[in-house]
Chains A and B, each alone.
Chain A
Amino acid sequence: MSTFAAVVFDGVVYSSWLFLMAAGLTLIYGVMRILNIAHGSLYALGAYTAASLGGAWIAAGYAPAGSFAMLALAVLLVGAVMGPLIERGLLKWMYGKDEIVLLLVTYAVFLILEDAIKLVWGVESKLFSEPYALPGNFAIGALVYPVYNLVLIAVAVVTGLALSWALYYTRQGKLLLAVIHDREMSAAMGINVDRVYLATFTLGAMLAGLGGALTAPMIAVSPGIGVEVIVLSFAVVVVGGLGSLGGAALGALMVGLARSVAVRYWPEGELFIIYFVMALVLIARPKGLFSAPEARKI
Chain B
Amino acid sequence: MKQVLLSGIALIFLIAAAWAPQWLLFLLALALAKGLVVLGLLLLMRTGLVSFGQGLYFGLGAYAAALLAHRGGLADAALMIVAGTACAAAVAAILGLLLARYREIFFAMLSLAFSMILYGLLVKSSALGSTDGFHVQVKQFAGIALAAGAERRVFFAVSVVATLAAGWLLHRYLASHWGRLSEAIRDNELRVEYLGASVYRVVYANYLIAAALAGLGGAFAALAVGHVDPETAYWTTSGEFVFIAILGGTGNVLAPFLSAAIFEALRTVASQYAPNVWQMALGVAMLAIIMFLPGGLWTLVRRKAA
Contact = CB atoms under 8 A, between A and B. Distances in A.
B114 A279 contact: yes
Given A105-B287, A108-B286, A271-B123, A231 B278 contact: no
A111 B98 CA distance: 31
B268 to A, nearest CB: 17
Contact of B283 (A108, A118, A231): A108
Given A111-B283, A268-B124, A231 B235 contact: yes
12 contacts: A94-B290, A99-B104, A103-B50, A111-B283, A114-B279, A115-B277, A116-B280, A119-B280, A234-B109, A235-B116, A296-B190, A298-B190
A90 B291 CA distance: 10
B246 A282 contact: no
Interface residues of B, number: 43
Nearest to B274: A115
A269 interface: yes
B109 A108 contact: no
A98 B108 CA distance: 13
Contacts of B284: 108, 112
Contacts of A111: 279-280, 282-283, 286
Contact of A231 (B101, B104, B116, B242): B116
B272 interface: no
B105 A282 contact: no
A231 B112 contact: yes
B112 A234 contact: yes
Among B106, B119, B282, B287, residue most surrounded by chain A Cβ atoms (within 10 Å): B287
Interface of B: 50, 52, 98, 101-102, 104-106, 108-110, 112-114, 116-117, 119-121, 123-125, 188, 190-191, 235-236, 239, 242-243, 246, 276-280, 282-284, 286-287, 290-291
Given A110-B283, A279-B110, A270 B104 contact: no
Contact of B276 (A94, A118, A235, A297): A118
A99 to B, nearest CB: 5
A265 interface: no
A183 interface: no
Contacts of A287: 106
- Max chain B CB contacts within 10 Å: which of A119, A268, A270? A268
Given A111-B283, A279-B110, A298-B191, A242 B105 contact: yes
A279 B113 contact: yes
Nearest to A269: B124
Given A118-B276, A230-B235, 14 more contacts: A90-B287, A100-B104, A100-B108, A104-B290, A111-B280, A112-B280, A112-B283, A115-B276, A272-B121, A272-B124, A279-B110, A282-B102, A283-B98, A298-B190
Contacts of B120: 269-275
Q: Which 9 A-B pairs have CB atoms at the shortest separation, nearest pair first?
A: A271-B120, A111-B283, A112-B283, A115-B280, A272-B120, A108-B286, A268-B124, A275-B116, A108-B283
Contacts of B276: 115, 118-119, 123
B214 to A, nearest CB: 18
Nearest to B103: A286
A51 interface: no
A227 interface: yes
A233 B121 CA distance: 19
A268 B108 contact: no
Interface in A277-295: 278-279, 282-283, 286-287
A266 to B, nearest CB: 10
Given A118-B276, A271-B120, A298-B191, A103 B112 contact: no
A94 B290 CA distance: 9
A286 B102 contact: yes
Contacts of B290: 94, 101, 104-105, 108
A103 B280 contact: no
Contact of A104 (B112, B113, B235, B242): B242
A100 to B, nearest CB: 5
